[in-house]
Amino acid sequence: MIAAAPHEATILPPSIARLNELAYNLWFSWNWDALGLFERIDVEKWKQSGHNPVRLLHAVDASQLEALSHNQDFLDSYHRVITRLDAYMNDPAWYQNHHTDAGYVQIAYFSAEFGFHESLPIYSGGLGILAGDHIKSASDLGLPLAGIGLLYKKGYFTQKIDASGNQQTELFPYDFHQLPLHPVLQDDKQLTVTVDLTGRIITLLVWAVRVGRNLVYLLDSDHDANNEGDRSLTAQLYGGNQEMRIAQEIVLGIGGVRALRALGIYPNVYHINEGHAAFLALERLKELLHLGLPFHVAVETVRSATVFTTHTPVPAGHDTFSIHMIEHYLSSLFREIPKHKQDIIGLGLDHKSHQFNMTHLAMNTSGLRNGVSKLHGQVSREMFKEFHGHVDASEVPIGSITNGVHLDTWTAPQWKELFDRFLPGTWRAEQANPHQWEQIDLIPDESIWNVHQHLKGELVRYARKSLMEQRARNGESSERIEEVRSYLNPKALTIGFARRFATYKRANLIFNDLYRLRKIINDPDRPVQFIFAGKAHPADYPGQELIREIYRISQLKEFLGKIVILENYDIHMARYLVQGVDVWLNNPRRPLEASGTSGQKAAMNGVLNFSVLDGWWEEGYNGTNGWAIGSTGAADWAAQEKENTRAIYHLLENEIIPLYYNQGEVPHQWIGRMKRSIQSLSPVYNTHRMVQDYTTQTYLPTAKRARLFVANQYEVATKVADYKQFIRTNWHQVKIMGIDDQSDKTTSEIPLDEITPSTKVITAHIHFGPIWPQDTAVEVIYYEENGELWEQKMVLMSPIGEIVDQAQRFQATIPSHLIHGPHFSIRVRPISNNFAHSFELSLVTSTLT
């Protein structure tokens, strides 16, 4: 269905004709020999194209291409790259080798943004880069996965910083025929699908991006059949108001499912990457209702095939819409299935706020859910504790799979060449295996330092060039432009801070004590310098004020050329930064950084992390591979601010700066810490490990469960749905009739050898009504002190005797000092082998309720 080469592809000499294929496969973006091949075609045009091979091939004269087709050196490089591409596309990968019995799996990954490469600017920041890296590793590992997103005509925005430090945003439409993507063709015409928005039919063009082995399908509303307003629905990422947001999310979720159907794709795993895409569940529900399934069975069928990843650790960060907006924008859906309008609204209803919450919709329609770090998983369980009834936060069914980054994309080629010389030959394919990284210790310190110093020099040159261009554009004097040539000392300790300028990330924390900072930066024997970069959302005025503040400080005489802020942070700039600085600074308010991945990119390049113990760093830091900025999540923001500020200055003055400068030209102790960082973090915080975790923990179990639920005319889905309906209807009859806190051991049915002097037997008498006792778990709950925490303990009680008058007794042994009421409670909850997790039904009867 997809054209092998789009109509706009450049006509090339036969001997290099597959350059088109290479240009339209984003495999090039993480293979440096492929990037180098395009650069050799024309260095200047390559830079002018924004490293976009499609645009480059359009810009190069036919005579240049003809000459290259006879250049033996170029042809040799071309054939090496094409041979590698063919092997990559055709050889079996991890999935084929490890999951030979899972050929039935088909995954659809929905995300509002994807960040693959600077040549395709349809991302804003961390969420998009993560999604792009996820797709790349899925391709490397051979996963049967298709991506679904939106094609933004104007991308996010281009950031410029004026002579006063103000962020200026620029939008301009991209020519899709100059980008590395294909129109999806059907009967020689570009495929379209439609969605109904408030009675208006919106026609969506379907495009495809090839990312290695996999395809990502992007929807575009810029079609002649739409009115001017609707043509701009997909114009800008995160642009516009609530009306634009809900329209985009309907296009993504509902339009995305329709695009899959038009392509003949029927996944058995739907991965909702953040709540923006949760409307996909409603389209799938409608499909099943049209097949004649009852609503409750359709919901269970949808849940069985859905995985949800949440990225947001604060309630305000989750998309919500008024019920009126939902009724208005989903009016066509409600007209099709009018009797289920309230049922559908109920799937997303937040009863506290009376708003329709996209995260609630995602959780109600997904079987498995996860946060993006261990700490974020804990935060999410606390945040959604009420959503799951009265259970301990540790039992809330939200797991965690810690984010990673695509190693081949973010690790400098110089590092990869060094690793190729010293690590096992299988290190790239098995990068998630810690044993592959043990031989880092064998790399000579001088080799490590030479690579790092080279990359640092590249960063300094890049930063100077960027600043000179910025000042020239702002009409500054020739003196102001020329002075930039002396900015940033390549031998000074260089600290980087680059990320979205949101206030909770506290980009200005280091400036809390300018007097102390002045002494640190201007020490003639041990100089320190800072490079900042990042965008603030156009509507985030406090974030933009942070940019102004940093710019203002950077222009003070004592900081000039030693603190710089670069404009238009993107993937291209990020590579220079994460590969070239010495230290990566990260100081968010804990625990508001769900994961964070920029520090992971830096770690793979030997850059040392200096971070608050938040997100991934809480689990990544081991005391020897970077530095932890002291923080307690329990402190109020003001206390945390003081604590973090003290820790930053103390560590800089007493550990980081002395370690960097105490050993002459080759700082062996610093390099030792670099090695420990690479060795401990690279095998864990890469997307190969992350995608393998998603595969084993969510994708394969979900696909298996989805197949089971739809088999035999939805037999299991119907049983589960009916069972849940029966349990909900009758659960009020489950009552704990009595507790014997000190049962007679001699008449107990628990074997005497299981009863010790420090334990006692307890008995619970439970009335079940019409519910079968075997469909429940009866448990003892108590807490044990573990350091500063109290951990919940659970003991399963065993049934004894016969069921009499819909009641039965249960027994268990527990520590003898526990007393019912103050120390332990009894609870009853429904269970089923077909549940995805223990608390799929948020029903609990307890002696504490």
Each residue of 135-180: pLDDT tens digit? 999 999 999 999 999 999 999 999 999 999 999 999 989 999 999 9
**This model's pTM is above 0.85:** yes
Please say whether the beta carbons of 130 and 597 come within 8 A: yes
pLDDT for res 239: 85
CA dist 154 and 444 (Å) reads 47
Helix (H) or strand (E) holding 84: helix 72-90
CA distance 795 to 797: 6
Count of CB atoms within 10 A of residue 488's CB? 21
Torsion of CA 410, 415, 416, 418, to 10 degrees: -170
Residue pair 587/644 in contact (Cβ under 8 Å)? The answer is yes
Backbone angles phi, psi at 822, to 5 degrees: -75, -30
Report the alpha-carbon distance of residue 523 to residue 526 in Å, rounded.
5
CB 112 within 8 A of CB 127: yes
Region 746-765 average pLDDT? 80
Query: Tens digit of pLDDT for each residue in 602-611?
Result: 999 999 999 9
Question: Tens of pLDDT along 201-251?
Answer: 999 999 999 999 999 999 999 999 999 999 999 999 998 899 999 999 999
Encode pLDDT of 804-842 as tens digits: 999 999 999 999 999 999 999 999 999 999 999 989 998
Q: For residue 4, what pLDDT is reported?
A: 40
HEC string for 724-745: HHHHHHHHHHCEEEEEECCCCH
Residues 6+ apart with CB under 8 A from 241: none
Band of residue 475 on the pLDDT scale cut at 50, 70, 90: very high
For residue 366, pLDDT beyond 60: yes
Give residue 392's pLDDT band: very low, low, confident or very high (50, 70, 90): confident
Mean pLDDT computed over 386-408: 92
**pLDDT at 848 exceeding the cut of 80:** no
- Name residue, tokens 């850059």: 607
Sheet holding 807-815, edge to edge: 735-740, 759-767, 807-815, 798-804
Alpha-carbon gap, residue 10 to 19, rounded angstroms: 9
- pLDDT reported for residue 633: 63
Q: Is the pLDDT of residue 469 over 90?
A: yes
The Cβ of residue 189 has, within 10 Å, a number of other Cβ atoms equal to 9
3-class secondary-structure state, position 846: strand
Topology alike, domains 109-277+306-366 and 734-846: no
> Rounded to whole angstroms, what are the CA distances from 245 to 422, 491, 595, 770?
50, 47, 24, 47
Cα–Cα distance between 179 and 146 in angstroms, integer? Answer: 19
pLDDT of residue 755: 77
When pLDDT is averaged across residues 701-709 and rounded to a whole number, the result is 97
298-309: pLDDT as tens digits: 999 999 999 999
User: What type of residue sits at position 437?
Assistant: W
Helix (H) or strand (E) holding 335, with range, is helix 331-336
| pLDDT for the residue numbered 606 | 98
Kindly report the average pLDDT of the chain as a whole number.
94
Q: 3.40.50.150, 3.30.750.210, 3.10.20.30, 3.40.50.2000: which CATH number matches 109-277+306-366?
A: 3.40.50.2000
Q: Which of 640, 653, 625, 655 is nearest to 509 (CA)?
A: 640
- Measured CA distances, 844 to 175, 549, 841 (Å): 57, 52, 9
**Given a cut of 60, is residue 3 above it in pLDDT?**
no
> Residue 10 pLDDT > 90, yes or no?
no
Strands of 62-144, DSSP E: 107-110
pLDDT of residue 747: 65
CATH of span 442-684: 3.40.50.2000
Mean pLDDT of 393-400: 93
pLDDT in tens, 114-142: 999 999 999 998 999 999 999 999 999 99
pLDDT at 631: 67
Percentage of residues of the chain with pLDDT beyond 90 = 89
Strands (E), 770-830: 776-786, 789-796, 798-804, 807-815, 824-830
- Residue 1 banded pLDDT, cuts 50, 70, 90: low
Residue 849 pLDDT greater than 60, yes or no: no
Cβ-based neighbour number of residue 545 at 10 Å: 17
CATH 2.60.40 correct for 734-846 = yes
Per-residue pLDDT for 498 more than 60? yes
Q: For the chain, give every domain's residue range.
A: 14-90, 109-277+306-366, 442-684, 734-846
Which pLDDT value is given to residue 5? 43
Task: Report the distance separating Cα 497 and Cα 507, nearest Å.
Answer: 7
pLDDT at 316: 78
- Please check the confidence at residue 6 and state whether its pLDDT lies above 80: no
**Number of neighbouring beta carbons within 10 Å of residue 51:** 19
Separation in Å, CA 173 to CA 10, 154, 234, 244, 558: 22, 5, 11, 18, 41
With bands split at pLDDT 50, 70 and 90, how would you rate the model's confidence at 746?
low
**pLDDT band, residue 753 (cuts 50/70/90):** low
Q: What is the pLDDT of residue 59?
A: 95
pLDDT at 210: 98
Percent of the chain residues past pLDDT 70, beyond the cut = 98
